[in-house]
A = this chain, B = another copy of it.
């Protein structure tokens, strides 16, 4: 069954394998009249590009995007925007041996079980390169949200247990410039240096590390999210958990709420400058699945890269127990490159629900059609 399309109004369809001709996305339902060009997209893609740091695979890909449709005279036309990134640095030979066995922690076995066989080159469709389509679409969603004054900001909050406390992660306190320029994506220089030391150690022991990517959305309108199944948090959870390697998702205080009390977890409403606000934000900006106007805060937990260079036990396609040692180019951690993916999936989800919310009231429909 088709699984590569996401969204109702702002709808994206991604395609492509690691070692096929290319990777791409069709963004349909993008409203007309958004100034957009390839530079907007490329800026996002460059943030997930391989080879940018010593903790990322040395595969050299320019990952240049071509917009094939949907733009006329520099503006979106309301028709589908098709974007294409050619694969240029495939070394299929690197992967030829993995055709015969199932790498632990990878999707090799499950793809074979589902489809009968798989494009094993570089992981095929389950490669991290699949996220190129998500990021290209995310660039558009982010730009449109920016027009509405809404900003979406993701960053690395933790690597291998080395974590920036929540209390130091407000947008005011963090150094997002630092995050965009260091190899960890952490918005705190000192913590980043500790994480880098840890990662170096992982590499030396032929091991890999996981981490946490957090994301904050500011200036959110109230009312976004469609109960009871298309709630804002439910859709964010789906969008984020659909990213490879994410094993847990939190909104607001997340896992902490299960050991909290109502008296401390409830956020009081308060009037502030004639506007309803909340004294605290344990809820992460969502009540009853609908945005409450305060900051949206979410966290995604990424598992360590499954491709490690240690010897590992596994089975081959003949059903024999074997020991393997994976070769090739693999990041010891994917978290820094995943930051822009989390940001993109968040922006796509927020935008789609923001558009869906426009039909909530009869009064607004009458105003729209000027009755």
Contact = CB atoms under 8 A, between A and B. Distances in A.
A276 B368 contact: no
Contacts of A34: 362
Interface residues on A, range: 35 or more
Contacts of A305: 262
Nearest to A300: B258
Interface string A201-217: 01001111111100000
Contacts of A107: 227, 287-290
Interface in A127-162: 130, 144, 147-149, 158, 160-161
B158 A259 contact: yes
B207 A262 contact: yes
Interface string A73-93: 001111111101000000000
A14 B26 CA distance: 8
A361 B144 CA distance: 11
Contacts of A178: none
A15 B319 CA distance: 44
Q: Which of A16, A17, A263, A292 has the most CB of B within 10 A?
A: A263
A285 to B, nearest CB: 10
Contacts of A14: 80, 228
A342 interface: no
Interface stretch (A41-49, A56-64, A114-122, A185-193): A114-122
A308 B261 CA distance: 10
A69 B22 CA distance: 7
A255 B158 CA distance: 11
A253 B247 contact: yes
A110 B223 contact: yes
A17 to B, nearest CB: 6
Interface in A1-55: 1-11, 13-17, 20-24, 26, 28-29, 31-34
8 contacts: A32-B360, A79-B227, A102-B269, A125-B227, A208-B263, A248-B255, A257-B303, A270-B313
Given A111-B290, A113-B223, A265-B303, 15 more contacts: A1-B226, A1-B230, A3-B29, A22-B68, A24-B69, A102-B269, A102-B276, A105-B266, A105-B267, A107-B290, A116-B363, A147-B366, A209-B262, A241-B249, A260-B304
